[in-house]
Every structure is written in structure tokens, then in C-alpha cells.
Amino acid sequence: MAAPDFEKQIKSLKRDYGITFGSKEGERVIADLKSAYYHRGSFTKSDPYETSYREGQRSVIIRIINLLKEDKNG
């Protein structure tokens, strides 16, 4: 019985992401986040901790992008 509630929550969350990032301002914010954290490489040769930190930042942007794509796809 918990699965339908979870699905409703995810659907609602996707809609919220779409509203938040669907405005002109939201589109500018997501573009800035992409340029700062998504398009740059996360790997740094000399520091595995920095690589992990950067990959953590990048994974947040990837989540946002994926939720926005899924919302647009229905």
C-alpha cells in the first residue's frame, strides 16, 4: 500500500521542480548551476577528496536535470 503514496509524492515533487525551474528565473538558475557544476569535470588528479566533493555537487545537478526531464516526459 505504501507504493501508491510514494508514486504520488514523486509525481508531486516532479511537478514542483518543473514549477520552480520552469520560469525564466528558474531557467537562469539551472543554467548557472549547470555551468558551475555539471559541465566541468569532477575528476582532479592530485586530490581524491576534491574529486568526491565535486562529484557530490554534480550529482545534485544531475538529480534536478533528471527530475525535470521526467516531468516533461509525463
Identify the band that residue 18 occupies on the pLDDT scale cut at 50, 70 and 90.
Answer: very high
Work out the average pLDDT over 26-32.
96
Is 58 part of a structural domain of the chain? Answer: yes
d(CA 26, CA 20) in angstroms, rounded, equals 6
d(CA 13, CA 16) in angstroms, rounded, equals 5
Is 59 part of a structural domain of the chain? Answer: yes
Identify the band that residue 42 occupies on the pLDDT scale cut at 50, 70 and 90.
Answer: confident
User: What was the pLDDT predicted at 71?
Assistant: 61
CB 21 within 8 A of CB 30: yes
Is 11 part of a structural domain of the chain? Answer: no
Range of the domain at 60: 42-74
